[in-house]
């Protein structure tokens, strides 16, 4: 079927559409009811079904005769380690670790907090929890103790699994002292901590601590079987970053999640059994949960777990080496990774050293893909570059250009700057402030009509009231994405940025994303950000910040004048962009999102709450004098 037919069917007959998708999952008790819509705005998918997610990710492939197929490839340039795991080997390790958790008193519904770097033990621990019906909550390795403590108090884990350290290109990050400080601060105390000792920094063990390697020796504990769970039981809780006070715990259920992710692997990403997917993200983020761990393994594919960076481990050819070495078919990463590669290697000289002919598609998500980065990637790689837009809350793409639902590129052409079209199951509309859909081409709040498809959040962890207040109260019957944009006459969605990135200049509402697109198109600019700063006359004025490509030597004043003129030419004088500063770096989270809100607060003279996910706090320190300089 074509995309158009599948999309129409998913909205006209959602129960029929998702019942068919559910055939791709092995059920312990098959669903008779597809959706329970008896208590809106709360919806539950496959409410009478039972399954086990780990069984679907591992056991069923081994049973089907694919025990020797490679499930997981671990590639760590920061330690010089390469290791592969067959489905049978990974299943053995997961069953053993699930047995360890049971021996520690962990049972169905108990929480296990994972505070780990990008090592195979992270994947094993996640699947081990799923195997026994425990709920995992992965916190990004290296998270600050204060942020970790509030997550411990919210999730109340029985066991915490951590490592002695994480490894960055230029430093060792010791996790154990941060974990101990977080536990000291938290009101809730775990029963035990299981520690993966890494030779780069061996941790001193305390009375709560157990050694991973000792526990995992063959015969130490009995391996665990799969525990049946309800499709509506939680698989994991993943906390959104940058929150103050009590964090938002996004809940993912077992059944809807398995059905949706398994469906996306072929329909959206064009990945089938035996294919190789390299998702250059982190298991601490939703992209890592969905497309490093669960999605590829549900589909019987091979997934690459990469402990390194796009540049600096050792050079901007790192991704190309991984693609060539493992015959990767799909690469999925964030636009910021490609901007970093392009900044250091604008002519892609490192690409010429590797055969990447196995690569079929590049997927980019996590932030807006500017047309300039799209054009560079498409030209240098020679494969379709697919922007896809989604959120931690949804768990899988809201909008994409689905590789498995188009027979040729002319059927659904890619438009640079747009993540293309809504995926089946998502009724995407742009609403005006009074809650009515706006005409094509008109900007507004991007919203999703309820019920959302399987795999999206059913609620927040132990906080239905906050779920409604945060997402569903602005427009009753709709989920508020928090992003602004428009839908064009062809049905393509254009995401222009967070609604709080829309600035008001003398009564004119302007998208900073539109201005950033102009700045990014300049040949000297590697990456950029535009933020609205307070102005006594006009309310707000935009200010631009650009990072130059490697090797570019230009007069900052001349470049600023060129960029201001370009914005005036493209958007008009109403944009009122009068100043663009050249800066050495932009502040980002570890997942690559630029901290525009934090920049805006500093520029306005406020004391910002800096997210615990910031990659390098020193960047903000260096940027503060520039942000606070008078316009």
Report the CATH number that the domain containing residue 124 is assigned in CATH. Answer: 3.40.50.12780
Rounded CA-CA distance 465/247 in Å is 14
pLDDT band at 631 (very low <50, low <70, confident <90, very high): very low
How much is the pLDDT for 244? 42
pLDDT-derived band at 242 (thresholds 50, 70, 90) equals very low
- CA quadruple 253, 254, 259, 262: dihedral sign: positive
> How high is the pLDDT of residue 575?
77
Q: pTM here?
A: 0.87
Domain membership of residue 63 (yes or no) is: yes
Same domain, 417 and 522: no
Query: Does residue 247 lie in a domain region?
Result: yes
Same domain, 264 and 185: yes
Q: What is the mean pLDDT of residues 386-415?
A: 92
Distance CA 363, CA 205 (A): 42
Predicted local confidence at residue 511, as pLDDT:
72
Mean pLDDT calculated for residue range 130-150: 91
For residue 409, the model assigns a pLDDT of: 67
Which of 485, 518, 538 represents a domain boundary (last residue)? Answer: 485
Taking CA 231 as the corner, what is the angle to CA 230 and CA 236, rounded to the nearest 5 degrees? 95
Assess whether pLDDT exceeds 90 at residue 247. no
d(CA 98, CA 107): 10
Please tell me whether residues 442 and 552 are part of one structural domain: no
What's the rounded mean pLDDT across residues 155-175?
Answer: 95
- The total domain count for the chain is 2
- Whether 496 is covered by a domain: the verdict is no
Q: Are residues 155 and 253 in the same domain?
A: yes
Domain shared by 137 and 205, yes or no:
yes
**Residues of the chain with pLDDT > 90: what percent?**
79
* Of 112-126, 134-148, 563-577, minimum mean pLDDT range: 563-577
**Under DSSP, is residue 261 helix (H, G, I), strand (E, B) or coil?**
helix
What CA–CA distances, in Å, run from 152 to 157, 360, 469?
6, 41, 23
The H-assigned helical ranges of 104-206 are 120-132, 145-155, 175-185
Beta carbons of 350 and 292 less than 8 angstroms apart: no
462 and 590 co-located in one domain: no
Domain check: are 115 and 207 in the same one? yes
Per-residue confidence at 501, pLDDT binned at 50, 70, 90?
A: low
Q: Is residue 337 part of a domain?
A: no
- Co-location of 465 and 532 in the same domain: no
Q: Are residues 517 and 475 in the same domain?
A: no
- Indicate if the pLDDT at residue 502 is higher than 80: no
Place of tokens 């035990």: 192
- pLDDT tens digits along 510-542: 778 778 888 999 999 999 999 988 877 767 889
Q: Do 259 and 193 belong to one domain?
A: yes
Cross-strand partners of 384:
none
CA terminus-to-terminus distance, the chain: 55
Which of 200 and 407 is assigned the larger pLDDT? 200
Residue with tokens 């990974």: 90
* Domain final position from 454, 485, 516: 485
Which tens digits make up the pLDDT trace of 430-464?
999 999 999 999 999 999 999 999 999 999 999 99
* Contact status, residue 406 vs residue 422, Cβ threshold 8 Å: no
Does one domain contain both 481 and 584? no
Using an 8 Å Cβ cutoff, are 40 and 55 in contact? no
Indicate whether 494 belongs to any domain: no
State the CATH number of the domain containing residue 559.
3.30.300.30
Q: Is residue 500 part of a domain?
A: no
| 3-state DSSP assignment of residue 277 | strand
pLDDT at site 619 = 92
Last residue of some domain: 485, 514, 537? 485
The predicted structure's pLDDT at residue 630: 66
Nearest 10 degrees: CA dihedral of 370, 546, 566, 483? 40
Q: Are residues 425 and 519 in the same domain?
A: no
Asked if residue 265 has pLDDT above 80, the reply is yes
Range of the domain at 570: 506-627
| Cα 534 to Cα 505: distance, rounded to the nearest angstrom | 10
- Note whether residue 321 is domain-resident: no
Tokens 């938290």 identify what position? 186
Report pLDDT digits (tens) over 297-307.
Answer: 999 999 999 99
Indicate whether 378 belongs to any domain.
no
């Amino acid at each position: 079927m074509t995309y158009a037919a599948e999309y129409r069917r998913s909205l006209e007959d959602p129960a029929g559409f998702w019942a068919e998708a559910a055939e791709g999952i092995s059920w312990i008790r098959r669903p008779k009811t597809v959706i329970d819509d008896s208590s809106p705005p709360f919806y539950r998918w496959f409410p009478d079904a039972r399954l086990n997610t780990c069984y679907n990710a591992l056991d069923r492939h081994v049973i089907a005769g694919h025990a020797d197929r490679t499930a997981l490839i671990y590639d760590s340039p920061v330690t010089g380690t390469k290791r592969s795991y067959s489905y049978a080997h990974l299943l053995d390790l997961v069953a053993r670790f699930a047995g360890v958790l049971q021996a520690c008193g962990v049972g169905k519904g108990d929480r296990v907090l994972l505070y780990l770097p990008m090592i195979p033990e992270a994947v094993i621990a996640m699947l081990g929890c799923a195997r026994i019906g425990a709920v995992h909550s992965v916190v990004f390795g290296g998270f600050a103790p204060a942020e970790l403590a509030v997550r411990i108090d919210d999730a109340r884990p029985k066991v915490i699994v951590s490592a002695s350290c994480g490894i960055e290109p230029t430093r060792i990050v010791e996790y154990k002292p941060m974990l101990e400080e977080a536990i000291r601060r938290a009101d809730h105390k775990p029963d035990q901590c299981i520690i993966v000792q890494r030779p780069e920094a061996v941790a001193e063990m305390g009375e709560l601590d157990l050694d991973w390697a000792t526990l995992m020796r063959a015969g130490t504990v009995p391996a665990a079987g799969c525990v049946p769970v309800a499709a509506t039981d939680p698989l994991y809780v993943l906390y959104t970053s940058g929150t103050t006070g009590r964090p938002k715990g996004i809940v993912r259920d077992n059944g809807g999640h398995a059905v949706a992710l398994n469906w996306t692997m072929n329909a959206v990403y064009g990945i089938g059994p035996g294919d190789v997917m390299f998702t250059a993200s982190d298991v601490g983020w939703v992209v890592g949960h969905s497309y490093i761990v669960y999605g590829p393994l549900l589909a019987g594919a091979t997934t690459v777990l990469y402990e390194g960076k796009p540049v600096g481990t050792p050079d901007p050819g790192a991704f190309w080496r991984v693609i060539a070495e493992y015959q990767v078919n799909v690469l999925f990463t964030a636009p910021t990774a490609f901007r970093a590669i392009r900044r250091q290697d604008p002519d892609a000289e490192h690409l010429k050293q590797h055969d990447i002919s196995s690569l079929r598609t590049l997927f980019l998500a996590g932030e807006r893909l500017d047309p300039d980065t799209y054009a560079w990637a498409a030209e240098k790689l020679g494969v379709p570059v697919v922007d896809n837009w989604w959120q931690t809350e949804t768990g899988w793409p809201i909008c994409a250009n689905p590789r498995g639902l188009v027979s040729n590129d002319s059927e659904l052409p890619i438009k640079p700057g747009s993540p293309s079209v809504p995926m089946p199951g998502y009724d995407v509309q742009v609403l005006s402030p009074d809650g009515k859909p706006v005409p094509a081409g008109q900007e507004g709040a991007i919203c999703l009509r309820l019920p959302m498809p399987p795999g999206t959040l059913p609620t927040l962890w132990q906080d239905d009231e906050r779920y409604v207040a945060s997402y569903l109260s602005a427009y009753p019957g709709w989920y508020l994405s928090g992003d602004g944009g428009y839908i064009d006459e062809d049905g393509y969605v254009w995401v222009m940025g967070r609604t709080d990135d829309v600035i008001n200049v003398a009564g004119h509402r302007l998208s900073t994303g539109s201005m950033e697109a102009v700045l990014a198109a300049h040949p000297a600019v590697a990456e950029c950000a535009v933020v609205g700063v307070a102005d006594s006359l006009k309310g707000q004025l935009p200010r631009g910040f650009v990072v130059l490509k490697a090797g570019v030597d230009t007069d900052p004043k001349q470049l600023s004048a060129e960029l201001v003129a370009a914005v005036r030419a493209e958007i008009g004088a109403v944009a009122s962009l009068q100043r663009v500063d050249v800066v050495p770096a932009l502040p980002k989270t570890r997942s690559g999102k630029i901290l525009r809100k934090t920049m805006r607060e500093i520029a306005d003279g406020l004391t910002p709450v800096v997210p615990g996910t910031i990659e390098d706090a020193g960047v903000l320190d260096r940027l503060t004098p520039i942000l606070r300089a008078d316009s």
